[in-house]
A and B are shown apart, each in its own frame.
Chain A
Amino acid sequence: GAVVSQHPSWVICKSGTSVKIECRSLDFQATTMFWYRQFPKQSLMLMATSNEGSKATYEQGVEKDKFLINHASLTLSTLTVTSAHPEDSSFYICSARSLGTGGSQTQYFGPGTRLLVL
């Protein structure tokens, strides 16, 4: 399957600081990437859809000014958690959409980034 990388895999920061997470599609171009958040023992919740060259589309209830998304190229999307607080601590996972056989659109996930805000 297609390969998606995320960096960093772990980040611990103080409350009030900003954290930037990178998501890269390594062996394919992705015009669309997705950012999810997952709390322990819960499902994946879509935060936003990142579109190359245009503004991200945020899901209801997700603060766009707090979670800044930039999709600067066909292989890179970044999520910046601004002024992070302890309640932002979570597992953040990106996925990239790859065109498969028969027109199917498969989403491949990155390895995820664990954020702990102290």
Chain B
Amino acid sequence: QQPVQSPQAVILREGEDAVINCSSSKALYSVHWYRQKHGEAPVFLMILLKGGEQKGHEKISASFNEKKQQSSLYLTASQLSYSGTYFCGTDSDDYKLSFGAGTTVTVRA
């Protein structure tokens, strides 16, 4: 079952912050975050494992609340290069990822 992402879209000015949420109705083993630019394949940002969180990738970080079966991606001091569609992929311990519908982020100068 697909996780639910929110918001669907967000428009930011350079330097502003944003949060993207991802929630699942199933227990999660890990959550994966990707960014996809128009016409390109998704690029891996980070993975969050059960019981912990990982940060990595410019000023983008994420958290994973396994009890709530939720993950959030934080875009801090956004840059123009942050524009794209962000997908969360959830893994319920069978290594197959189910992707949310995506959140389109537009960063304007």
Q: Which residues from chain A sit less than 8 Å from chain B, CB to CB?
A: 1, 32, 34, 42-46, 49, 93, 97, 100, 102-112
Contact of B87 with A105 in the complex, beta carbons under 8 Å? no
B contact patch SS = strand
Contact of B41 with A112 in the complex, beta carbons under 8 Å? yes
Write 8 A-B pairs (CB below 8 A) sorted by A numbering.
A93-B41, A103-B49, A105-B91, A105-B95, A106-B32, A107-B89, A107-B97, A111-B40
Contacts of A109 in B (CB 8 A): 34, 41-44
Return A103 CB to nearest CB of chain B, in Å: 8
Q: Which of B12-20, B60-68, B71-79, B99-107 is found at the contact surface with chain A?
A: B99-107
Contacts of A42 in B (CB 8 A): 101
Contact of B47 with A100 in the complex, beta carbons under 8 Å? yes
Return A46 CB to nearest CB of chain B, in Å: 6
Return A54 CB to nearest CB of chain B, in Å: 15
A-B contact count (CB 8 A): 50
Contact of B95 with A111 in the complex, beta carbons under 8 Å? no
| Other 17 A-B pairs with CB < 8 A, given A103-B49, A111-B41 | A32-B95, A34-B97, A42-B101, A43-B2, A43-B99, A43-B102, A93-B42, A97-B95, A102-B49, A105-B91, A106-B44, A107-B32, A107-B44, A107-B89, A109-B34, A109-B44, A110-B41
Contact of B47 with A34 in the complex, beta carbons under 8 Å? no
Contacts of B40 in A (CB 8 A): 111-112
User: Which chain A residue has the least Cβ–Cβ distance from B104?
Assistant: A41
Return B5 CB to nearest CB of chain A, in Å: 9
